[in-house]
Chains A and B, each alone.
Chain A
């Protein structure tokens, strides 16, 4: 036990030393990350701040509003077979989006193995599951609108419920939709083998590698992760 703890410390020490060595070296600070991967990470940090600001604003108005906040398990319930099931649609949507993270990760793996067909199929599958998510979101929107929820008013309580709901899920849905478009473009490029020959296409750097699939994956997993937070703060609270 004693030895493994020491090994552990040594491992961390080596890790830290390499980090310092990389950052005090020339040319690149992240030795394994390409330019576009670095850019995507930094963009995601910036985007995190946008979503955080949205969610914190939502929490603030939820506290400031003078009217009772509607109960999420009632307002987000679906009537199936004469029974009201709370949060059922959201559960399916969340499951759906997290599944798409799985297919995305598989696509990245196949792309690096240069297995173009399974990679492209999995990318299309990811796009379809993402599109299904947006579709279910549209269904949820239309259901709430049908029940009279508007950005400016809400028959079930605080008007800010509608405002926050449409704004935040709308902004997230916009991210998913953009992701779906990008996934389809990349799927086409992978299918045609553009990244083998290094052809100049959208989303390619002519480097002839499949890294762009992984960069796409970073974005997609981020959109997933954000959804988990929206789910927790909006639907479960």
Chain B
């Protein structure tokens, strides 16, 4: 317990923790490859995640081409189709979004934003990345094994995921499960680092309630991940045993192709409970960092403090807590005890309260603000709209009685792509445009950025908005082809072709972004240390890009919250967190 008393004349309590000892690299290998610097690890994480994300993007084209032009491309048979659906889902949710938001942005921003020299356990942090890379490689290698990757769907539901009829029965499913177990082990190492750094390694003056919302979002997401990934870990271990050792954890007595399988008495629903105990918090592991980042982008580019900062923090925490008790809404049609549906519907709809509160606060931040329509801001605004849209369809799906007819249709696909596909991806783009100057010292090209934004944003709507309608028609998800089906009108097929064309366009536009990313590295306009005139701590580093140890000789001292924009009486429109208080300032 602290015994420090703050004298009235002292603004900030004295340092409690001695300086951390950094690992100083001596060679190229330990500086850029086996680096223990969180910033390098962040870039490694992000680069790996984006690379595997490109694979997922190409897989989505395969899915869309098959749906719009069944049989037109000869190599897309049903096996390839199901493998593409599975790998696209798993890569995007786990290997791309989780890794880039926590491993990428978490590693880069947490130490800089809380004023630390590095993560608290740099070696463990490095290990976390290499295990993540190994997990990604194992996953990608499943394309090279006989039978290819698993085609069980990203939820990997047994019994079908480990029966011979499913593509990738031989090795694909094993590779997938091993890869997931590795990912969880690696992620636990990273997650512990993020949580402890936020709790125990902040700068002088940096209280929890002076942290940027980005840090709050990533921190809560990391806590959630540490509590939710155990569910997936256990599910993977048990499914692996069912597949390899012939146990019957998830497998009931079952007859396949007339052959009585050697399984007996397992519970397939148990897998669904374990999977979704991970799977639902996972949505918020992806969404909460996005919430945080978007709050910061909006505040900086609207030159206004975030509206209701404390409410925003408590909303993040409340969403995090609630997200652990809603998993059953993925299982309304699973045969789970129907009375559970009542409980899970209520908790699910309760999440709408803190979430709506956040949306209101973002809108109120924009209200009468000095909005600069920069590329990051456009992406943040795009997020607001897509997230609101996806959230509203979530209300439909959260109610048992509405969900039952809609489940397993394209309505669900449209919903979750809006809310946890498009929305976080827009934020990731916005965040890259926003922090690129800090990472490289150069600006990204604004014109290319705006082209990228408008085609991505409008294109995403063109893809997923009609999909709601297809879902309401009752078109099921995951079907390889519809064939001659009476209830599907011809117009639905036309719409399917439209969606596919838009998906191809949006996919290709991402290469403009990649061009911009690499081109600006050498040719971008030099940005200086703080091109957006932002107040939070990461923009106040002595060097840009920040050097090893982030802060040069002395650690920063924090005097105010990170949203001091347009402060009355100040002679500039923002006050950096580490600037001593000005006369008569009301310190928050």
Chain A residues near B (Cβ < 8 Å): 18, 21-36, 38-39, 42-43, 45-47, 49-50, 52-54, 57, 60-61, 63-67, 151-152, 158-160, 162-163, 167, 171, 206
Contact = CB atoms under 8 A, between A and B. Distances in A.
B233 A35 contact: no
B248 A46 contact: no
Contacts of B121: 35-36, 39
Contacts of B210: 26
Given A46-B188, A67-B265, A29 B227 contact: no
Contacts of A26: 12-13, 202-207, 210, 558
B266 A43 contact: no
B174 interface: no
A152 B208 contact: no
A50 B227 CA distance: 9
A75 B97 CA distance: 48
A114 to B, nearest CB: 20
A167 B230 contact: no
A60 B267 CA distance: 8
Interface stretch (B104-112, B191-199, B351-359): B191-199
B120 interface: yes
Question: For B203, B234, B270, which residue has the most chain A Cβ atoms within 10 angstroms?
Answer: B234
A50 B234 CA distance: 7
Interface of B: 1-2, 4, 12-13, 15-17, 21, 120-121, 188, 191-193, 195-196, 199-210, 226-227, 229-231, 233-235, 237-238, 241, 245-249, 253, 262, 264-267, 270, 273-274, 277, 558
B249 A25 contact: no
Contact of A29 (B15, B208, B264, B270): B208
Given A61-B249, A163-B249, 15 more contacts: A21-B2, A26-B206, A27-B17, A27-B202, A46-B191, A46-B227, A50-B234, A60-B267, A60-B273, A61-B270, A64-B267, A65-B265, A151-B241, A167-B241, A206-B21
Contacts of A206: 21
A132 B408 CA distance: 53
Given A26-B13, A27-B204, A66-B253, A39 B196 contact: yes
Contacts of A52: 230
Contacts of A57: 234, 238, 249, 270, 274
A50 B233 contact: yes
Given A42-B196, A64-B265, A151 B206 contact: no
Given A39-B120, A50-B233, A66-B253, A160 B200 contact: no
A236 B196 CA distance: 38
A163 B248 contact: yes
